Amino acid sequence: MTESRVRPFGERLVEAMDAHGPLCVGIDPHAALLADWGLPDDAAGVREFALRVMEAVGGRVAAVKPQAAFFERHGSRGVAALEEVVAAGRAAGTLVVVDAKRGDIGSTMGAYADAFLADGSPLAGDALTVSPYLGFGSLDPAVELARATGRGLFVLCLTSNPEGPEVQHARTADGVSVAAAVASRAALLNTGATPMGSVGLVVGATVGDTARRADVDLAAVNGPLLAPGVGAQGAGPAELARVFGGARRQVLASSSRGVLRAGPDVQPLRTAALRASAEAAAALR
């Protein structure tokens, strides 16, 4: 396999968090937010919304996370807007985590990997969210291509929604929780990486003490922990500190609506993002 010439995602993320704080701003152009911003609920509205967020936060936060669903719901022109967001992140030097939560049988996963992780693909940001619930091994094509191109993965582990535990806390035949098994597989892929590996987990900031109850050793993952749920879903600095404890230096806190509701103007958006970033930094110090 050809190894990447760019530095691995884990290394680049640590550098970005050191420079800007541990915040990822979610770009989720909900229909309701488009209306609040005075924009049409179509591909042009989504594009204007997303590029305005990029203008506000590009070069000022560690990462942005466009939620693919809000672009895809507008068809090919919406997907073209997502491509522009990826390009804008690259131009601003801001890491882009494409939140598409892909997961499929291995042969199809290879095609998703080509779309979101291959050099030259217009949808390839710096990292991709993926679902391990067809079996962790089904993600192998994405793991291999991400490694070869210096990109990262965030594997769903303990999600922020209340329905997550019915799957993630279930016990495998070996008696370990599904979430703990996912975390162990990620840890294996990050063995020996410094300052941390490029295979991260998604662990909601809303999950309370469920990491402990599901026996998930977050610090042992030696990779980044993407923590959605900050802001609109109710988590704040206290929850970040409580959920992540000894793994807090690995955390990239993520807030979408909590920041986006400050729009439509660039300056209030920027102020909201910088405030959220400073709060996350204080909680995770």
Ligand X SMILES: O=c1ccn([C@@H]2O[C@H](COP(=O)(O)O)[C@@H](O)[C@H]2O)c(=O)[nH]1
The residues annotated as belonging to the active site are 101
Closer Cβ to ligand X, 8 or 258, answer by number: 258
Q: Are 59 and 52 in contact (CB under 8 A)?
A: no
3-state secondary structure of 127: strand
Closer Cβ to ligand X, 94 or 206, answer by number: 206
Encoding tokens for residue 120?
A: 């030259």
Q: Are 235 and 252 in contact (CB under 8 A)?
A: no
Closer Cβ to ligand X, 13 or 150, answer by number: 13
Q: Which of residues 17-46 bind ligand X (CB under 6 A)?
A: 26, 28
Pick from 8, 141, 204, 236: which binds ligand X (CB under 6 A)?
A: 204
Considering the complex, what minimum distance in angstroms separates the CB of residue 72 from ligand X? 12
Pick from 10, 89, 197, 231: which binds ligand X (CB under 6 A)?
A: 231
Q: Are 147 and 4 in contact (CB under 8 A)?
A: yes
Site residue total, ligand X (CB under 6 A): 18
Q: How far is CA 276 from CA 21, 88, 102, 143, 147, in A?
A: 9, 22, 28, 31, 31
4 contacts ligand X (rule: CB under 6 A): no
Cα separation, 205 vs 248, in Å, equals 11
Please, which residues have CB within 8 angstroms of residue 27's CB and are 6 or more apart in sequence? 49, 50, 53, 54, 64, 65, 66, 67, 70, 85, 256, 260
Q: Provide the mask over 159-198, with x wherever binding to ligand X is found by CB under 6 A and - wherever it is not.
A: xx--------------------------------------
255 contacts ligand X (rule: CB under 6 A): yes
Cα separation, 182 vs 201, in Å, equals 9
Closer Cβ to ligand X, 89 or 204, answer by number: 204
210 contacts ligand X (rule: CB under 6 A): no
125 contacts ligand X (rule: CB under 6 A): no
Considering the complex, what minimum distance in angstroms separates the CB of residue 109 from ligand X? 19
Considering the complex, what minimum distance in angstroms separates the CB of residue 150 from ligand X? 23
Considering the complex, what minimum distance in angstroms separates the CB of residue 172 from ligand X? 21
67 contacts ligand X (rule: CB under 6 A): yes
Pick from 149, 210, 256, 277: which binds ligand X (CB under 6 A)?
A: 256
Handedness of CA 31, 130, 57, 44 (dihedral sign): negative
Considering the complex, what minimum distance in angstroms separates the CB of residue 152 from ligand X? 15
228 contacts ligand X (rule: CB under 6 A): yes
Cα 112–chain centre separation: 17
**C-alpha angle with apex 179: 158 to 22, nearest 5 degrees?**
40
How many of the other CB atoms lie within 10 Å of CB of 265?
12
Pick from 11, 57, 81, 99: which binds ligand X (CB under 6 A)?
A: 99
Cα separation, 199 vs 79, in Å, equals 25
Considering the complex, what minimum distance in angstroms separates the CB of residue 168 from ligand X? 10
Closer Cβ to ligand X, 29 or 150, answer by number: 29
Cα separation, 202 vs 198, in Å, equals 13
User: Contact residues for ligand X (CB under 6 A)?
Assistant: 26, 28, 67, 99, 159-160, 202, 204, 228-229, 231-233, 254-258
